[in-house]
Amino acid sequence: MTLRSFLFVPGDSEKKLGKGAESGADALILDLEDSVAPDRKVLARNMVAEYLAARPGQTGPELWVRMNPLAEGGLDDLVAVVRAGPAGVMVPKPDGPADLVRISHVLDALERRDGVTAPVRLLPVATETARAPFALSSYADAGLTRLWGMTWGAEDLSSAIGARTNKGPDGTWATTYKVVRSMCLLAAKSAGVEAIETLYADFRNEAGLIADCQEAAREGFTGRIAIHPAQVAAINAAFTPSPEEVAHATRVVAAFNATPGIGVVGLDGKMLDIPHLKQAQRVLGQAAAIAARRGP
Ligand code: COA
Ligand code: MG
């Protein structure tokens, strides 16, 4: 399952819910958490439940929901939305995998109650509390069969630790955020799930977004969060292997196939061994999955 772009849509905005479906995003995240004011939480929950229920088996973007933390209304969010079969739930501010285990048990019960057959998947925002980074390595061994991917966030973490900014003087992430970003990438890979890059807040800066997405894709992230429909096309493009990458990967695989059983080959004067073959196969798998999503 290759999802390149996840567009956040505030769950209490009828207009944005209407626009999200046409954005070209691979998935929407119908938000019940930080983009919804406290006195509109119940309204948003009802609107999102209705929105999901009105789109059974729809062919557009996958519909995900960002719940509130369990202790802050998240349980009521799950009770309201699971019966409409969202593709997945984004989990904000977990301290570690134990929080996702608890949510998984709630989902087990709700899916059984409501006759939901496709298991709801989970995407934690795994770095939003001061404790969370220390638990990143334990996602891999937590038995979380619903875990689809992991993403990270800088805004809540900086607020949690009382930082005045999360950026360095050059405008890139300050050290703490660079560290947790890399740790999240490694944690996702060690758990065998997707690594999803955090949002790019400066939503009018397309050139900056493109460069930032390309760097994330080169590093192994497979998708990114969007906050504005105008960001979707650039994100989709950056996380789709380019024709040149596909052509190169095809040649790498062909070079190995030419001599079955061989572990190392030369191509264009460069040595290629098994890690290169695996990466080429990954690129071709990604490209095929994206083409299959688009349909014939
Ligand atoms: N989803 C769907 N539609 C959106 C959208 C989104 N995330 N963001 C903007 N739009 C719509 C607007 O409603 C507007 O529609 P209109 O042309 O019919 O008036 C159009 O796209 C252009 O929007 P624009 O005027 O450029 O932006 P804005 O000032 O209205 O909104 C934000 C800016 C940041 C408030 C808005 O993009 C947003 O709500 N983003 C999501 C925030 C969020 O969910 N954050 C949670 C994660 S931290
Ligand atoms: Mg937040």
- Which has more pLDDT, 59 or 85? 85
- Whether residue 8 has its Cβ less than 6 Å from ligand 1: yes
pLDDT over 70 percentage in the chain = 98
Name the pairing type of β-strands 270-273 and 264-267.
antiparallel
Q: What is the pLDDT of residues 256-291, one digit of tens each?
A: 999 999 999 999 999 999 999 999 999 999 999 998
CB neighbours of 13 closer than 8 A, spacing ≥ 6?
A: none
Pairwise CA distance, residues 60 & 284, whole Å:
24
**9 CA to middle of ligand 1, Å?**
8
Ligand nearest to the CA of 72: 2
- Whether residue 24 has its Cβ less than 6 Å from ligand 1: no
pTM of whole model > 0.85?
Answer: yes
CATH architecture of 5-238: Alpha-Beta Barrel (3.20)
pLDDT given at position 271? 96
| Average pLDDT of span 58-66 | 91
- Whether residue 156 has its Cβ less than 6 Å from ligand 1: no
pLDDT over 90 percentage in the chain = 94
pLDDT given at position 57? 66
Work out the end-to-end distance of the chain between its first and last CA atoms, rounded to an integer number of angstroms: 17
- Whether residue 204 has its Cβ less than 6 Å from ligand 1: no
- Whether residue 198 has its Cβ less than 6 Å from ligand 1: no
Per-residue exposure over 247-262, b if at least 16 CB sit within 10 Å of its own CB, e if not: ebbeebbebbeeeeee
Q: What is the pLDDT of residues 169-193, one digit of tens each?
A: 999 999 999 999 999 999 999 999 9
Q: Where are the domains of the chain?
A: 5-238, 243-294
Q: What is the pLDDT of residues 141-152, one digit of tens each?
A: 999 999 999 999
**136 CA to middle of ligand 1, Å?**
31
pLDDT given at position 292? 86
pLDDT given at position 185? 98
Of 91, 227, 231, 232, the residue with max ligand 1 atoms within 8 A of its CB, to mutate for a pocket test, comes to: 227
pLDDT of 213 over the 50 cut:
yes
CB neighbours of 246 closer than 8 A, spacing ≥ 6?
A: 283, 284, 287
Contact yes or no for 15/36 (Cβ under 8 A):
no
Q: Could you give the C-alpha distances from 238 to 149, 196, 216, 260, in angstroms and in order?
A: 18, 13, 9, 33
